[in-house]
Structure 1
């Protein structure tokens, strides 16, 4: 009787070998280093107060909006800001922050665009509008550098939602407008929308950098940090 076990074993080893190669190949498809996206890693920048404050200001000035109103109107703009419009005057100086009174607080304060994820128009009257701001991370530069949080710390302790009242008109009866440019190369600001005309209930996502001012090494060392570079193979 012939020994049939030897060829069977050889065949099994060959099958396992090629299956192993196949699994290795498929595991690498769409893979990559998973390197964290961070201005401090990519640009080898110092994690000091002047640098982080500069990056925070740059991120506030580089937000994009792209949304559709319930009526089907498409609203788009880059490098957005807000301003009380002067009739027949070019738009030059803009604000990259909302200034108003947070519900439950007495003193008005400024909320910088660099920590705003989205804004929702809740309601309006003849004088003011009420907006909901989703913020992340609601942390100062000094505190960020002092405590060196992980990404998990930021998500759990510095994700906040507030409601703020903002004047729709200036003291000189100028309307509050959302303004921006239509491209990175065009530095001329245009009116994107008057806030008085944006419908109640409209949510506006603030889009921007994937390499954030708050992405210091203590944050990016956290495996939960989601902004990573994937290189296709």
Structure 2
């Protein structure tokens, strides 16, 4: 091997060795942060852990890949396999990379979109979505995979601290929506005007494009229904 070839081989080896050490250092940093978080969770009371779980579930409900989210104005869900076909549920369960990102960013992410930034500005109304996508694209794939594992580990610890298996209802947000619906019905039956909504202008939703697979399923179902309707004999 010539001296030039040897030099090139050494440089290549040094590059990959340096990249490996850098990645391991980043992983160790995340592991250290997780350790601190797990210690904190271990000090929470059961009720506090249940409240955290409830808050996380409510936040996850803001993220949408609804069938109505079609078109170039909606960006695809890039964080996990399947283009977000089960994104919201994976986020709620702490299995999505997005679960790690939300915890890393903290409440400021939501405070900005829901309060500080102009709600009618197309460049800021999707602040959460755009920030998350940008951060994910800047994160090396191996590190993102590691962060996803850490998010699952953290969520498992929260579930155990909150006694989710035996007291699931305490962390279920559905009951609060049901209570709100009953209150609206009670006011209507009593002839009381409905509660005035004052936050209708707030862009609470974090909208991503509906996965292509879901769109195709809806299109196939629609075509099947049309075929059945056409094939039916006219009523006499």
Task: Give the number of the structure whose residues are more often helix, by fraction.
Answer: 2
Higher strand residue share: 1
Q: Same fold (TM over 0.5)?
A: no
Give the structure-2-normalised TM-score: 0.26
Compare relative contact order (CA 8 Å, sep 6+) and give the higher one, 1 or 2: 2
